[in-house]
Structure 1
Amino acid sequence: MKRWGLMIIVSLFLAGCTAFSAVGQPEQPQEAVVKQTEAKPLPKDIHLVALGDSLTEGVGDGEGKGGYVGRLVPLLAAEDRVRTVTVTNLGKRGRRSGELEPVVDAHQGELKRADLILLTIGGNDVMNVVRSHFFDLSYERFAKESKLFADRLDHLLISLRIANPDAVIVLVGLYNPFSTTLPNIPEIDDVIAEWNKASQVVLSRYDRTIFVDIQDIFTDRDELLHRDEFHPNAAGYEQIATRVYHALNEQKEWWVN
């Protein structure tokens, strides 16, 4: 009887210790519980408006994929936070910077909905200087026109910001396709660099803007040009799309939040 009594007492003691351990276990921190149950942000529908010249239109793309804009879309759509990408492409061959204001005025609805506004402009402004002064081209003529171009770009940015204060605006810079066609202007690389620098200064005055420099992509790379020796070919557009995507990826919080 004493042995059974001792065993009962020990059993009750062990049961009490087990119950105490379960009750006395520290609770999981509330912060950890919140982290486990926190929902991920919903994927976003991205509205993209592309403005500008033949590079936006995709002239020279022998594969018919829509130039750099068409190649950028699947890269953006593959992002975890992106559900769909809707594109309005307003690019037109031959368009100069002074011809974009009416386009902006005519497409206020699309611009207001835009999360991203892509822009290529300036190449035809440079070509206009070439055509107008082919026999007396000089660095000074390009420099003078660069200042006028910067003023027009500034007014364009104002119009875009009035239409949409929040969209990310991406300006793709100029490149030099003239290495073989303008031998009488050996400083043409410097001309293009100066125009790009002027564009960067303009964009720096506005929030949520990105300048994408592509001049180096086409330096001594004629294999990236269309047979017209001016527009990119399919491979050239692929390079531009990749460069623009990386630039957007560095500022992802601007357009996916």
Structure 2
Amino acid sequence: MNKFLLLFLCVCLVGCSSTPTMMEEKEQVQMKSRDLQIVALGDSLTEGVGDEEGGYVAFIEQYLENRDDVNKVFVHNFGKRGLRSTQLADVMINNESVIQQADLIFITIGGNDMMKVVRSHFLSLTYDLFVKEQQAFASRLDEQLQLLRHMNQDAYIVLIGLYNPFSSAFPNIPEMDEVIHMWNEGSKEVISRYDRTLFVPIADLFEGRDDVLYDDQFHPNNLGYEQMAKRIYEYLQKHREWIGE
């Protein structure tokens, strides 16, 4: 056979074989794409108070919908301003049918439990009061995680830590940073007992930064929620079992 003809046939064969491979890869990406059901539980941070655009949950929705392996994101936000951990179980029970279908569950809780301590003992605050309440909070959190796992064994649960908005509002509590750290470490330890869970710290995002707080100097503003969402998504990227990898 003429060597030029042989070379031509080899090039054709290579070209023909590469085209279906590219198509197969595209089809594989399409097959991997799936819908995600998101449930958001907790307090005013989950509700998005301080941001008319929906807070960190709205940003997370955008980040996930921009992924090639995600088709559509459906969000069910049950965040409620002022919610304490003693009320969280009722929210779960009232929305059990939605939680059963969730792929990702985000939780912010604990800030109002701390505020209850501040309001109840404003003139006589001590570190021990916060320790006692944190221990009770940790016990309730453990029970609530058990309830979530009973409702949904497979959902990936993300617990978002607390930050310190008290430094300007309550300058008479100099140990508040230590309290926040203690509270977060306790929550991190509780959630680590469960599979397919993640604790995301955010305290450092708000340290010494008034530009990320709303006018009330307590809740995040749009920029603050965006920073939270970026941190959450960054942690999700490091723990990709939530997407089935």
- TM-score normalised by structure 2 residue count: 0.89
Q: Does the alignment pair 1:169 with 2:181?
A: no
Helix, strand or coil for the counterpart of 2:49? coil
Give the structure 1 partner of residue 65 of structure 2: 77
Find the partner of 1:55 among 45, 64, 68: 45
The answer as to 2:129 corresponding to 1:159 is no
Paired residue secondary structure (1:180): helix
User: SS of 1:144's equivalent?
Assistant: helix
Contact 1:150 1:199 in 2 (8 A): yes
Query: For each residue in 1:219-248, what CA deviation from the matched residue of structure 2 results, as whole angstroms up to 9, or x when unmatched?
Result: 001111111111001110110011111111
Q: Do structure 1's residue 108 and structure 2's residue 96 form an aligned pair? A: yes
Equivalent position to 2:83, from 95, 105, 117: 95
From 216, 222, 225, the equivalent of 2:204 is: 216
CA drift of 1:256 comes to 4.6
**Structure 1 gap ranges (5+):** 1-13, 19-27
1:35 CA drift (Å):
7.1
Give the counterpart letter for 1:60 in structure 2: G
Residues of 1 paired with 2:241 and 2:148: CA distance? Answer: 20
Q: Which residue does the alignment assign to 1:181? A: 169
Pick the structure with greater CA Rg. Answer: 1
Q: Post-superposition shift, 1:112?
A: 0.7
AA at the equivalent of 1:59: V
Matched to 1:239, the amino acid is: Q
Please say if residues 49 and 219 of structure 2, whose CA atoms lie closer than 8 Å, have aligned partners that are also in contact: yes
1:167-201 Cα deviation digits (max 9, x unpaired): 00001100000111222211100000000000000
CA RMSD of superposed structures (Å): 2.3
Q: Is the 8 A contact 2:104 2:242 kept in 1?
A: no
Deviation track 1:150-172 (CA, whole Å, cap 9, x = no partner) reads 00100000000000011000011
Distance 2:21 2:180 in 1: 51
Q: Is the 8 A contact 1:81 1:256 kept in 2?
A: no
Asked whether the 8 Å contact 1:82–1:256 carries over to 2, the reply is: no
What runs of 5+ residues in structure 2 fail to find an aligned partner? 5-13
Residue 252 (structure 1) shift: 2.2
Percent of aligned positions that are identical? 51
Q: Distance in 1 between matches of 2:97 and 2:21?
A: 40
CA distance in 1, matches of 2:242, 2:40: 18
Where 1:50 maps in the other structure, the secondary structure is: strand
- Asked if residue 244 in structure 1 is aligned to residue 229 in structure 2, the reply is no
Contact 1:171 1:211 in 2 (8 A): yes
Query: What is the aligned partner in structure 2 of residue 134 from structure 1?
Result: 122
- Residue in structure 1 matching 2:53, options 28, 49, 65: 65
From 24, 31, 35, the equivalent of 1:45 is 35
**How far apart in 1 are the matches of 2:244 and 2:230?**
18
Once residues 211 and 147 of structure 1 are traced to their aligned partners in structure 2, the CA distance between those partners, rounded to angstroms, is: 18
User: How many residues are paired up?
Assistant: 234
Instruction: Give the residue type in structure 1 aligned to 2:96.
Output: Q
